A and B are shown apart, each in its own frame.
Chain A
């Protein structure tokens, strides 16, 4: 039997998909036995530690490691000289382009230290204590240079330059002077001048946001073993061990085939563990020392040196007619990339106005370097920022004509066929349905009290597909192992097992899903871009279908029938056509038992490059109360509706939404990188960089909207990221409405709220 490509509701009753079973990796995670990045050890293991620049910007004249090298117990010392030089070129699609010349300098500084915390050398020693002592014996001769932290200052023509030869890309003709602006990008549809000329009202504002950290609780950690024959193994927590293998082998200068990477459990990533930080250092130290080397970063190092999300400066202008139709939109988004180019500003430009049907749109982006750690991806990278600026401006526009802000969005929402600013037309449903689901939420019409405000916002994220591999093996007793190469950040092993059980027609607890290392399965991209359940899920289902075909063939052999006369139903082969009803059905267990006489083990591996991605869309509202005495904001209620396509495991999906929203609340209210005049981060710890704690947050109501993606066997869309996109703006709009003043800066810390209240009183 060939299975339909998509199972739509009503067509076939789903037995496993849509239920909430316990995840297969659950028990070791509640008993403390699961092994995360820092939990691996090997005999003879050394501890690696990294020396970091105390200066925001300094030329490195020389590094003297001789005394450290001579300290008893020190087995290896390295500097950037131990890493091969890389070619200066941007490789890959522009949106995610990588420049290894920059990346190797990010791993370890060469000519200059570009931010406080920039790695300059590393040691491996027999204990943490000896390693710490050795770091103090390394002498670095720095020439301290003027630095620049603030984005507006970094964009000035006379700003201190991080790279004396950096000419802005994407400007014609090319500028004749270097600057800190790495590139300019522009997207445009229609005619914005004509659009604004036709508007009855134009609203415009400028917004600023501070860089924030992903805040994963597990610091970067890995264990490396480099053997004398040039082969190496790594145990690392990352969002994708294949990508860690690709980048690390290139940075270290070894063949991909000589490096095997094992996926440790990962204690949170949110985009921050898409790229290596410690892995190349541990490998080089291990190569030099001839012993395994473990590196575990401190929280201070995580904040100072492992990519926060970009900060931004954004101006958005929107023109509307008096009945609430948006006729033109213009956005200029400048993002802090940190010390090396490539912030997610291109994503921001592309996502910014994508929820809407607007004929005339322009999005301009600037990527700006400054003396801060290089930014890394953070949940829907770029989109929450542009959404903050756009959705705040939309709120002003709706208010200017006295229209309900959700109705305003519904009136202008994009549909299949609506062009996006970057060219392609929307092809999927789900946006309007999500806004309607929020409008229908009973809490949306509850009355508000004094000093309270309700804010709404919507958000768009591309989601992703791409390369994934899965192996499905039928064990000797008919149970099944599903192996994929996708790092499991939050329970995707459960989703994989569920999709396999559903496809094979067997019970969930007969399927075990594992994450295989780079030596044990075909390539899988990173678990990022909300791609795993979609793309790796497709590979799993396709592998199951191959296994079903094989099981039918085995049954046909046992029955001496034609394979076309064997169908697969509820985990059993059944004789159909000629001879139907004459024999008992053959369950998977019985076929497995006969495998040796029917052709041997039954398994299938499938690798895909999954297309047919459907974007993510979320609509949210929140109620806040502002304390007029202290400026403190309390979030009273949060309701988040998201189009998830089909929730494979609804509890895990709700968790994604609740987690994304709580990060958005932290971004909006508390979190920021704070620097002193010397360019040093002053709040590099969880005490002063305060992420939301349990008592800060209300219940977060997750509303699952299911508009299936026809290109996934069960209709799944990515669910991990769209949820955070509207949250910043929803909170800001709520605070703005509560105090009757437009907030234009994140975080909305109490002093800023008091300031806004003060200027209101003064006026």
Chain B
């Protein structure tokens, strides 16, 4: 079948790509556009490793078709730092040793940023509930929660 032409915006830049109609946004990002920072842990919407935002909404990119990106604005982990300036969440994850293997980290960072955009002062329980869709097998989540709390504090200017 002929491939579809899609025009979209990724991390603020206009991007065009060709994809098969059944290809997921995750596959397009990784295989067609070389944006491999978004990870695949399951392909079924159960692990959150593929988290991105579409027009500001947090989604699993493995559950979205590539063609659905048309006309939308997509944010991936590659766009999280401003140049060499890490996002406070990225910095706090490093300072708190909130990653071990790091495969879940891009998805968790995207999800955590989404949380802080909606709720700049979340409780520990709110963080744990918000991140319940993002699996981490290495850390037991302790230091992830600490890093998000600390980043939120810094972003509030406290």
Contacts and interface: CB of A to CB of B under 8 A. Distances in A.
Interface of A: 20, 22-23, 25-27, 29-36, 38-39, 41, 128-129, 214-219, 265-270, 296, 298-299, 489-491, 649, 651-652, 654-656, 658-659, 661-663, 685-687, 691-697, 699-700
Given A39-B36, A299-B41, 14 more contacts: A20-B97, A30-B90, A32-B80, A217-B47, A217-B49, A652-B100, A659-B137, A686-B47, A687-B44, A693-B131, A694-B132, A695-B132, A697-B141, A700-B140
Contacts of A491: 97, 100
Contacts of A26: 94, 99
B95 interface: yes
Contacts of A663: 137
A39 B103 CA distance: 11
B42 interface: yes
A659 B94 contact: no
A693 B128 CA distance: 8
A32 B27 CA distance: 16
Contacts of A685: 42, 44, 46
Contacts of B37: 31-33
A447 B27 CA distance: 52
B103 to A, nearest CB: 3
Contacts of A299: 41-44, 46-47
A490 B44 contact: no
B143 A658 contact: yes
A697 B41 contact: no
Contacts of A270: 137
Contacts of A661: 140
Contact of A658 (B20, B31, B47, B140): B140
B102 A687 contact: no
Given A490-B138, A694-B127, A268 B103 contact: yes
A296 B30 CA distance: 12
Interface string B55-76: 0000000000000000000001
A267 B102 contact: yes
B71 to A, nearest CB: 24
- Among B38, B90, B127, B129, the one with the most A-chain Cβ atoms within 10 Å of its Cβ is B90
B134 to A, nearest CB: 7
A219 B40 contact: yes
B38 to A, nearest CB: 7
The binding surface of chain A is classed by DSSP as: loop
Interface residues of B, number: 59
A651 B96 contact: yes
- Among B41, B78, B93, the one with the most A-chain Cβ atoms within 10 Å of its Cβ is B41
Given A490-B101, A655-B97, A694 B41 contact: no
Given A22-B94, A30-B93, A215-B137, A695 B129 contact: yes
Contacts of B141: 658, 662, 694, 697
Contact of B143 (A29, A129, A296, A655): A655
Nearest to A666: B137
A218 B137 CA distance: 10
A489 B101 CA distance: 6
A521 B96 CA distance: 32
8 contacts: A25-B102, A30-B106, A32-B78, A217-B47, A268-B137, A651-B143, A655-B139, A662-B140
Contacts of B143: 651, 654-655, 658
Nearest to B131: A694
A607 B27 CA distance: 42
B77 A216 contact: no
Nearest to B34: A41
B1 to A, nearest CB: 9
Contact of A218 (B20, B41, B127, B128): B41
A265 B99 CA distance: 13
B78 A31 contact: yes
Top 3 nearest A-B pairs (CB, nearest first) are A32-B37, A267-B103, A662-B140
Given A31-B80, A651-B97, A697-B141, A691 B90 contact: no
B152 interface: no
Contacts of B101: 216-218, 265-269, 489-490
A268 B42 CA distance: 14
- Among A29, A219, A489, A490, the one with the most B-chain Cβ atoms within 10 Å of its Cβ is A29
B86 to A, nearest CB: 7
A335 B74 CA distance: 49
B103 A686 contact: no
A658 B37 CA distance: 26
Nearest to B42: A299
Contacts of A129: 20, 22
